[in-house]
Amino acid sequence: MLFHSPEFLFAFLPLSLLGYYLLGRLPNKLWAVGWLVAASLFFYGWWNVAFLPMLLISLGLNYLLGIMLVETPRRWLLLAGVAANLAAIGFFKYAGFLVEILNALTAADVPVPHILLPLAISFYTFQQIAYLVDCHEGRIGRPNPIRYAMFITFFPQLIAGPIVHYREIVPQIERDETFRIDQAKLVLGFTVFCFGLFKKIGMADTLAPLAQPLWDLAAGGEAAYLAFAWRGAVAFALQLYFDFSGYSDMAIGLGLMFGILLPFNFDSPYKSQTIIEFWSRWHITLTRFLTAYLYNPITKTVMRRRMERGQPVWNPRKPQVLPFLVMLAFPTLVTMGLAGVWHGAGWQFIVFGLLHGAMLVANHGWRATSAGRARIPAPLSSLLSPVKVLVTFLAVTVSFVFFKSPTLTDALTVVRGLAGMGEHGGYLYLGDTVVVLFGLFIIWALPNTQEWVGLKAHTAPKAPARERARFAAFYWKPSPTHGLMVGAVLCITLLRIFGSPPAEFLYFAF
């Protein structure tokens, strides 16, 4: 069931809200939470009911492990739980790829298994790994089984995130006011949902046909000429952003309609001036997961061992090459390499992750040099900012070629075109170019969704007063202007929905 499908919009969502708020009037709020769990399991099973047992088994085992870790924290038990979760992902997602590698290295002829990937296994597994770590570290108490099930299965974020923590969601559903109808939250959530719907239907699905011909050429071994290649690559970079950030907006909007605030997952990433800034704005909940549960532990382990041996540790004020390579470059490359593998089984995903790792290392290395730390005069900095934004965007666009390509060979063929080494492709129609330029205008000139509706200022009270005032100007208000805007956006998207079959979200593949 897709968020933009008629059965979701006109049947599932209204019935889910109705049952949730009716049961929320009862003294025991667990009835409403249980209703939401049942609705979420129905939503998940709608895709393929065969996936449901895997989700339920994962829920049950991780819940029991969590109780054991809360009562008697044991490191070996935590490691066993994490290993079991990773083994599940490894079997379903990477078994075929590993067999292909084995055959290539040993000239064996082992049949490559074709295993059906359970929907959203990467997302709900990461959430449960974070939950187990929090249980072991004493950050949460003994969980209630129904609330735990709701934390994992909550349908707005179940399929493609945001990746949430137990302590972000469960405290909200422990408060009685969450189950009371809040007209402001309902309308605000509906507004955010509509903007996300427009991003997906109005922008991402419109850009998709402009990007695909570039990869169709690559599948035949043909590299596109320079302009055609860059038009297609930029169109895909925009499609991916509008598709995934549109899903995240819809998830946040749906959460608000149920009285639950989910974390932001995007914050205008294509306005970033460096690759470090990009990863603080793109897929934010994945970045924080990788930082907290992979990058930081690796860095701390390396630092501890170097200190035990009396070796120098990394000091940004007095940078040295070896500590930089060992304590910053190594953890970064490992983390981003595994992030690439998390997205998919294939050499192209490994290259995607390592490419971003290399860019992050280069960015950190530049910052550590005297030139990188030099203070640039304000007038010159203002002039350089658009250049840095453009360079970062183009670098990310090239990396996304590997993300989209079905094989590494196809990705390298597309890159040949981006380097001006191709000669194939079709006409660049003016209308198509206008669509791409309109997408660039949206990402660079307009506020993002949380800025439009004032959520960013509301959830970032530590921001400077000037920033809060700027965002406050976009607060949603119950005014005719805002109503007409939301109504127009909804009409456009509904016309598109009924005019053509809905397309799946790109991140459903991961």
The pLDDT tens digits of the residues spanning 280-291 come to 999 999 999 999
CA-closest candidate to residue 174, choices 206, 191, 151: 151
Per the structure, the complete domain to which residue 232 belongs is given by: 186-445+477-509
pLDDT in the model for residue 459? 52
Q: Are residues 255 and 353 in the same domain?
A: yes
**What is the rounded average pLDDT of the residues 436-442?**
94
Specify the higher pLDDT residue, 336 or 96: 336
State how far the Cα of 21 lies from the Cα of 35, in Å rounded to an integer. Answer: 10
Of the pLDDT bands very low, low, confident and very high (cuts 50, 70, 90), residue 510 is low
pLDDT in the model for residue 474? 56
Q: Judge whether 381 lies within some domain.
A: yes
Last residue of a domain, one of 161, 181, 201: 181
DSSP of 305-354: HHHHTT-----TTS--HHHHIIIIIHHHHHHHHHHHHHH-SSHHHHHHHH
CB 178 within 8 A of CB 261: no
Q: Are residues 398 and 314 in the same domain?
A: yes
Q: Are residues 259 and 160 in the same domain?
A: no
Q: Judge whether 272 lies within some domain.
A: yes
Q: Judge whether 468 lies within some domain.
A: no
pLDDT in the model for residue 461? 45
Last residue of a domain, one of 153, 181, 209: 181
> pLDDT tens across 384-431, in order?
889 999 999 999 999 999 999 999 999 999 999 999 898 888 888 888
Write out the two tokens for 461: 């009270």
CA-closest candidate to residue 399, choices 194, 236, 289, 198: 236
State how far the Cα of 354 lies from the Cα of 359, in Å rounded to an integer. Answer: 8
Average pLDDT, the chain: 86
Q: Are residues 260 and 212 in the same domain?
A: yes
Q: Judge whether 500 lies within some domain.
A: yes
Q: Are residues 24 and 141 in the same domain?
A: yes
Q: Are residues 421 and 499 in the same domain?
A: yes
Location of structure tokens 């998390």: 342
Cα–Cα distances in Å, from 280 out to 106, 267, 277, 290?
41, 8, 5, 12
> pLDDT tens across 345-376, in order?
788 999 999 999 999 999 988 887 766 666 77
Domain count of the fold of the chain: 2
> pLDDT tens across 164-202, in order?
999 889 999 989 999 999 888 888 898 899 889 999 988
Residue 4: active-site member: no
Cα–Cα distances in Å, from 213 out to 52, 228, 414, 426?
36, 9, 11, 9
Q: Judge whether 97 lies within some domain.
A: yes
Q: Has residue 463 got a pLDDT over 60? A: no
Location of structure tokens 């009396």: 310
pLDDT in the model for residue 457? 58
Q: Judge whether 463 lies within some domain.
A: no
Q: What type of residue sits at position 27?
A: P
Specify the higher pLDDT residue, 463 or 80: 80
State how far the Cα of 154 lies from the Cα of 263, in Å rounded to an integer. Answer: 14
Last residue of a domain, one of 181, 202, 234: 181
CA-closest candidate to residue 260, choices 135, 150, 159, 126: 150
Q: Are residues 89 and 230 in the same domain?
A: no
Q: Judge whether 460 lies within some domain.
A: no
Which of 343, 356, 364, 458 is an active site residue? 343
> pLDDT tens across 473-502, in order?
556 666 677 777 777 777 877 777 776 766
pLDDT in the model for residue 472? 57
pLDDT in the model for residue 465? 56
Cα–Cα distances in Å, from 505 out to 86, 119, 173, 180?
24, 12, 28, 32
Q: Are residues 156 and 192 in the same domain?
A: no
Of the pLDDT bands very low, low, confident and very high (cuts 50, 70, 90), residue 20 is very high
pLDDT in the model for residue 50? 86
> pLDDT tens across 112-159, in order?
777 777 888 888 898 999 999 999 988 888 888 999 999 999 999 988
> pLDDT tens across 257-316, in order?
999 999 999 999 999 999 999 999 999 999 999 999 888 888 888 887 877 777 777 666
Q: Are residues 441 and 499 in the same domain?
A: yes
Cα–Cα distances in Å, from 497 out to 135, 190, 199, 240, 253?
43, 17, 13, 19, 19
Q: Are residues 500 and 391 in the same domain?
A: yes
CB 98 within 8 A of CB 341: no
Q: What type of residue sits at position 276?
A: I
| DSSP secondary structure code for residue 259 in this structure | T
Location of structure tokens 């530590």: 462
Residue 224's SS3 state is strand
> pLDDT tens across 40-59, in order?
999 999 888 888 999 999 99
Q: Judge whether 263 lies within some domain.
A: yes
Q: Has residue 504 got a pLDDT over 50? A: yes
State how far the Cα of 265 lies from the Cα of 263, in Å rounded to an integer. Answer: 6
Q: Are residues 177 and 191 in the same domain?
A: no
Q: Are residues 234 and 288 in the same domain?
A: yes
